[in-house]
């Protein structure tokens, strides 16, 4: 999900102002590895009852775990899955020549050694970039530090060697490459665009995604977007694909209990918004009663600490999207929390 939640829609801003007061407070053993791996393969395409309510408690590595690995790279995805992540969360943009690439921002400036909009570049141009260029361990992408702060800079060019990995693992991957590399790992896909006002850019990426998923026989994916119009357009094109609620729909449900669009299987929410707790035990219980899974993201809404992770586990959320997947994994293991395919402690 996005780094900072922004309610750009005037309708939702008005709704939030009007309804906040009325809404009131929102309410493993070694053998487990094989069991969890098997659970990832045993997906059914059923939508009722909602299978995502049974897939818990998931470590959903956000962008592959951007505080521990260069975000949205194959290196990040491979490392996070190896340490125990149950699901990958990633973002997609579309290129000038119609490919779906995995990157959060509309430009390449923040994470690579290049500059410019993804939409204006071809896949070959994007593949020439170093997607680990600005990565600082523990901090994600940070500009302006001494060169020694960037241990993976140049790995995409073969200038830095990393055991078990190739230069391509540090470049910008396509969605197709991620699907091929992880056929049995559930994937959460967020449709991105150039900016909130450019709805057409979101729809273009969503249309390409719908076309691609029509060729994939996978039921272990969820597609979401902050842009409600783009997600609605995607659903019309690919009604078989499970969705998370878009921004306006999610807040309308949170504040007023408005029904969610058909096809929604999960609410993916921040810990807080504008000082208002969103991911609470009461909210999760309400969502579960209505048949929706709840996944919590942290970026810009709460510190990525042991205390925060523990508090969110205790809300009974079905999945957490950490920037530090190894930290979350250690907490889940230490507490013996149930995982997909592995019985354990039910935090509820």
Instruction: Report yes or no on 31 lying in a domain.
Output: yes
pLDDT above 90: percentage of residues in the chain: 84
Distances (CA, A) of 78 to 67, 113, 185, 259: 15, 22, 11, 37
Positive or negative: CA dihedral 242, 189, 191, 281: positive
> What rounded mean pLDDT belongs to the chain?
90
Instruction: Report yes or no on 138 lying in a domain.
Output: no
pLDDT tens by residue, 37-47: 555 555 556 66
Instruction: Report yes or no on 149 lying in a domain.
Output: no
Instruction: Report yes or no on 147 lying in a domain.
Output: no
CATH code for position 259: 3.20.20.190
Instruction: Report yes or no on 162 lying in a domain.
Output: no
Q: What is the pTM of this model?
A: 0.89
Number of separate domains in the chain: 1
DSSP label at residue 148: G
Q: Which residue range is the domain that position 297 belongs to?
A: 10-104+173-335
Instruction: Report yes or no on 43 lying in a domain.
Output: yes
Instruction: Report yes or no on 200 lying in a domain.
Output: yes
Instruction: Report yes or no on 116 lying in a domain.
Output: no
Q: Which long-range contacts (CB under 8 A, 24 or more apart) does 241-249 make?
A: 241/210, 241/213, 242/47, 242/52, 242/266, 244/188, 244/268, 244/295, 245/292, 247/5, 247/7, 247/9, 247/12, 248/9, 248/11, 248/12
Residues acting as catalytic residues? 62, 104
pLDDT tens by residue, 196-239: 999 999 999 999 999 999 999 888 999 999 999 999 999 999 99
């Amino acid at each position: 999900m996005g780094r900072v939640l922004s309610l750009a829609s005037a309708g939702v801003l008005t709704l939030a102002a009007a309804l906040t007061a009325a809404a009131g407070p929102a309410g493993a053993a070694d053998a487990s590895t094989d069991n969890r791996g098997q659970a990832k393969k045993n997906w059914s395409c059923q939508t009722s009852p909602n299978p995502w309510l049974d897939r818990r408690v998931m470590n959903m590595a956000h962008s592959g775990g951007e505080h521990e690995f260069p975000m949205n790279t194959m290196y990040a995805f491979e490392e996070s899955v190896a340490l125990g992540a149950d699901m990958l969360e990633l973002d997609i943009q579309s290129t000038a020549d119609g490919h779906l690439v995995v990157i959060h921002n509309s430009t390449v400036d923040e994470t690579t050694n290049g500059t410019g909009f993804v939409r204006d570049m071809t896949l070959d141009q994007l593949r020439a970039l170093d997607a680990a260029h600005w990565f600082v361990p523990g901090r994600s992408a940070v500009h302006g530090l001494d060169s020694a702060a960037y241990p993976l800079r140049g790995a995409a060019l073969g200038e830095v060697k990393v055991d078990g990995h190739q230069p391509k693992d540090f470049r910008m991957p396509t969605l197709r490459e991620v699907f091929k590399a992880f056929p049995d790992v559930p994937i959460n896909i967020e449709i991105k665009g150039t900016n909130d006002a450019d709805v057409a850019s979101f729809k273009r990426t969503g249309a390409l995604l719908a076309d691609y998923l029509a060729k994939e026989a996978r039921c272990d994916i969820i597609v979401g977007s902050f842009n409600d119009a783009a997600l609605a357009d995607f659903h019309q094109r690919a009604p078989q694909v499970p969705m998370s609620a878009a921004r306006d729909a999610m807040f309308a449900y949170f504040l007023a209990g408005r029904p969610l669009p058909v096809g929604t299987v999960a609410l993916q929410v921040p810990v807080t918004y504008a000082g208002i707790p969103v991911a609470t035990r009461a909210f999760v219980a309400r969502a579960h009663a209505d048949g929706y899974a709840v996944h919590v993201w942290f970026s810009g809404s709460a510190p990525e600490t042991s205390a925060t992770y523990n508090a969110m586990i205790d809300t009974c959320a079905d999945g957490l999207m950490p920037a530090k997947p190894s930290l979350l994994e250690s907490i889940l293991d230490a507490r013996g929390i149930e995982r997909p395919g592995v019985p354990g402690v039910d935090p509820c």
